[in-house]
């Protein structure tokens, strides 16, 4: 199944800054280089989260509310319902089948993404958490369960995107964080990372990029460089 996604919307910029004022300044600096923004917990705790969301939507930006809802099913459903009819494209949910089902039932015009395995986790971390299966097995299991629950897609490392495409229904949206256009730095907390070209080649529909753009000397130029890499990868795939 071929999805109709404009190439320049495949880049989702993780707007991980301390407050709404810093976020607006960075969005204005990026201009038309970025069409899709992810706003997460740091901004939520910084205040003005929903005014910022509305500000982005008013500027024709697409918005990914990444709050990884995890609570009793009724509470998760009620939280997801609050996002309806306000221009939100994606939101994320953690948890078991009943939690994902509650989110999917409440989603309305919002697409719900199940989180598989965070890209900051590796085999050792899964052992610490009590998971005895391999990362790939866990990702496949959670993706299947997300689709069965009525979710629209998953958040997954690009390392597992190819596996998802081989074994899961093509309707599944795959959003891939942990993208590193250059070599990963030792201080980086992302462990399971891939390049732009690898992620798209493996089957990701969207890529999420944060620090490589935010911390660049020229964030707009960095975003445009990644947009160019996306265009090249997409041409190679057709």
Whether 191 is catalytic: no
SS3 80: helix
Cα separation, 175 vs 177, whole angstroms: 7
**Residue from 2, 25, 38, 68 carrying the catalytic annotation:** 68
Strand partners, 155: 115, 175
**How far is it, in rounded angstroms, from Cα 65 to Cα 87?**
10
CA distances from 157 to 19, 67, 105, 193, 212 (A): 27, 18, 26, 7, 17
At 119, list the tokens: 């890209």
Written as one string, the DSSP assignment of 10-72 is: SEEEE---SSHHHHHHHHHHHGGG--EEEE-HHHHHHS-HHHHHHHHHHTT-EEEEEEEE-S-
Burial zone of 108 (CB within 10 Å; 0-12 exposed, 13-18 middle, 19+ buried): exposed
Please identify every residue annotated as catalytic. Answer: 68
């Amino acid at each position: 199944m071929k999805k109709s996604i404009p190439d320049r919307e495949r880049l989702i910029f993780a707007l991980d800054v301390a407050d709404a004022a810093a976020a607006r300044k960075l969005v204005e600096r990026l201009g038309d280089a970025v069409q899709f923004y992810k706003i997460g917990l740091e901004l939520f705790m910084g205040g003005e989260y929903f005014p910022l969301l509305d500000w982005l939507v008013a500027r024709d930006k697409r918005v990914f509310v990444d709050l990884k809802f995890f609570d009793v099913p009724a509470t998760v459903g009620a939280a997801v319902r609050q996002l309806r009819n306000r221009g939100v494209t994606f939101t994320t949910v953690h948890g078991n089948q009943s939690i994902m089902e509650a989110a999917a039932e409440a989603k309305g015009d919002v697409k719900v993404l199940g989180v598989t395995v965070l890209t900051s986790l590796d085999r050792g971390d899964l052992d610490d958490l009590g998971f005895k299966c391999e990362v790939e097995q866990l990702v496949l299991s959670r993706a299947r369960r997300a689709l069965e629950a009525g979710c629209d897609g998953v958040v997954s490392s690009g390392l597992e995107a190819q596996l998802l495409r081989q074994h899961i229904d093509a309707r599944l949206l795959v959003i891939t964080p942990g993208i590193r256009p250059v070599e990963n730095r030792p201080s980086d907390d992302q462990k399971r990372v891939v390049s732009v070209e690898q992620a798209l080649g493996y089957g990701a529909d969207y890529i999420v990029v944060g620090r490589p753009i935010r911390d660049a000397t020229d964030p707009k130029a960095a975003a445009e460089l990644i947009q160019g890499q996306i265009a090249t990868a997409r041409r190679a795939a057709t």
